[in-house]
Amino acid sequence: MVYNFNGGPSILPKEVFEEASRAILDFNGTGLSILEIGHRTALFQEVVDELRVTARELMGLDAEHEVLFLHGGASTQFFQVPMNLLNQDATAAYLDGGEWGRKAIKEAKLFGTVEVVASSKDKNYTYIPKGYTIPPAAAYFHYTTNNTIEGTQMHAIPETSVPLVADMSSDILSHVMDFNRFALIYAGAQKNIGAAGVNLVVVRKDILGKVQRPLPTMMDYRQHIEAGSLLNTPPVFAFYVCMLTLRWLKQQGGVSAIEKINDRKAALLYQTLDSLPMFRPTVAKEDRSKMNVVFVMDDPELEKSFLATCKEHGMVGIKGHRSVGGFRISLYNALPLESVEVLTELMNDFAHTKA
């Protein structure tokens, strides 16, 4: 048995793997592989339609918001967002809450002025900055909802009249929220949406078409909207895996149902960590992420030994990011509660043996 706690690419539902594996040999009884079907066929259009409709439904989007699926990962959106939304003489407000936000800031500076409203870099991004002011004239306010590497999460949407732009790569569709409050949302698929190589982008149409710079066709959200995400040959298989994953999520009861399970997984793991002094969560309690649980062990020998024990028990993807060290346990939608139960039992056993 393997327990996959990878930070991304990460575990997807077993049913998705099984269906995708079959479709590589024979897609929907056509005798053709999903890898060799034309992207302009009625067959594939059905996949795209179900993908779009299911995404809209799971997020409860209104008519002002469009859903796109685009090549690349969130790193592409780091520059595509300001390219589409930020004039050279305008200012965008950014929150510096982690490694990914920092990278987004770097790219935005190529397109206009960036005002960093707050940063938690002083404490290695172990908390979410609070009490900042968003300049009301900003073109938009950008933040990362969940910091995959550092294990922090924003638990509320900021109150502001400035258009909200969020990188939701690592917690989208994991809990109920009002997605319609955002002007633009983007998320690399490889956590809660599907396989790597595609981005989900949600955009409120009225914020587009306001920049003066000419946009390359492939970078222009409006062109992708018009073409229904089929402006060029899409990553066909990645689309298909996303469609299967969102279909699965809908079958589970949607976002509110998965949120209940996600809450139980996170609660169990944090309670276990808090009860065992050997393990030390690194993040401010109120900002703890329910998707990525980060902790260290102060004794390097014990840390090595616990890592080895986990490996023996089939656990993978538990090492912390090199910038943080220690451990990172990712609890994305597809991770069963049982995996957390097995891990926490192991923690308890380990702590009592070594105490």
Element spanning 3, H or E: strand 3-4
CB nearer a second copy, residue 40 or residue 285? 40
Residue selected from 45, 88, 232, 275 as contacting a second copy according to rule CB under 8 A = 232
Number of Cβ within a 10 Å radius of residue 40: 9
Neighbour order of strands in the sheet with 65-71: 65-71, 198-204, 184-188, 164-167, 141-144, 91-96, 113-119
Q: How large is the angle between the packed helices 254-275 and 42-59, nearest 10 degrees?
A: 60
Interface with a second copy (CB under 8 A), residue total: 62
| Interaction of residue 2 with a second copy, rule CB under 8 A | yes
Residue selected from 97, 234, 281, 320 as contacting a second copy according to rule CB under 8 A = 234
Which of helix, strand or coil describes residue 158?
coil
Interaction mask 187-216, a second copy, x per CB under 8 A:
-x-x----xxxx---------------x-x
| Interaction of residue 28 with a second copy, rule CB under 8 A | no
CB 24 to a second copy: min, Å = 4
Does the bond joining 9 to the residue before it have cis omega, within 30 degrees of 0? Answer: yes
CA distance 320 to 6: 10
Which of helix, strand or coil describes residue 81?
helix
According to DSSP, residue 35 is labeled T
Tokens of 135: 């300049």
CB nearer a second copy, residue 111 or residue 270? 111
CB 220 to a second copy: min, Å = 10
CB nearer a second copy, residue 302 or residue 307? 307
| Interaction of residue 121 with a second copy, rule CB under 8 A | no
Instruction: Region of 201 please: left (phi>0), alpha (psi -120 to 50) or beta.
Output: beta
| Interaction of residue 22 with a second copy, rule CB under 8 A | yes
| Interaction of residue 33 with a second copy, rule CB under 8 A | yes
Residue selected from 158, 317, 325, 336 as contacting a second copy according to rule CB under 8 A = 317
| Interaction of residue 236 with a second copy, rule CB under 8 A | yes
Interaction mask 55-94, a second copy, x per CB under 8 A:
----------------xxxxxx-xx---x-----------
CA angle 7, 11, 15 (to 5 degrees): 165
Give yes or no for a contact between 27 and 37, defined as CB atoms under 8 angstroms apart. yes
| Interaction of residue 249 with a second copy, rule CB under 8 A | no
In the chain, the amino acid numbered 303 is: E
| Interaction of residue 235 with a second copy, rule CB under 8 A | yes
CB 155 to a second copy: min, Å = 26
| Interaction of residue 314 with a second copy, rule CB under 8 A | yes
Pick the piece of the chain touching a second copy (CB under 8 A) from 103-111, 255-263, 286-294, 344-352.
103-111
| Interaction of residue 17 with a second copy, rule CB under 8 A | yes
| Interaction of residue 38 with a second copy, rule CB under 8 A | yes
Give yes or no for a contact between 292 and 318, defined as CB atoms under 8 angstroms apart. no
Which phi and psi angles does 269 have, rounded to 5°?
-70, -45
Q: Which of 331, 25, 65, 353 is nearest to 221 (CA)?
A: 65
Residue selected from 45, 64, 88, 106 as contacting a second copy according to rule CB under 8 A = 106
Give the start-end residues of each E strand in 53-90. Answer: 65-71
CB 299 to a second copy: min, Å = 26
Residues marked as catalytic: 100, 167, 191
Q: Is 181 exposed, middle or buried (0-12, 13-18, 19+ CB in 10 A)?
A: middle
Binding site for a second copy (CB under 8 A): 1-2, 4, 6-12, 17-18, 20-22, 24-25, 30-33, 35-39, 71-76, 78-79, 83, 103, 106-107, 110, 188, 190, 195-198, 214, 216-219, 231-238, 241, 314, 316-317
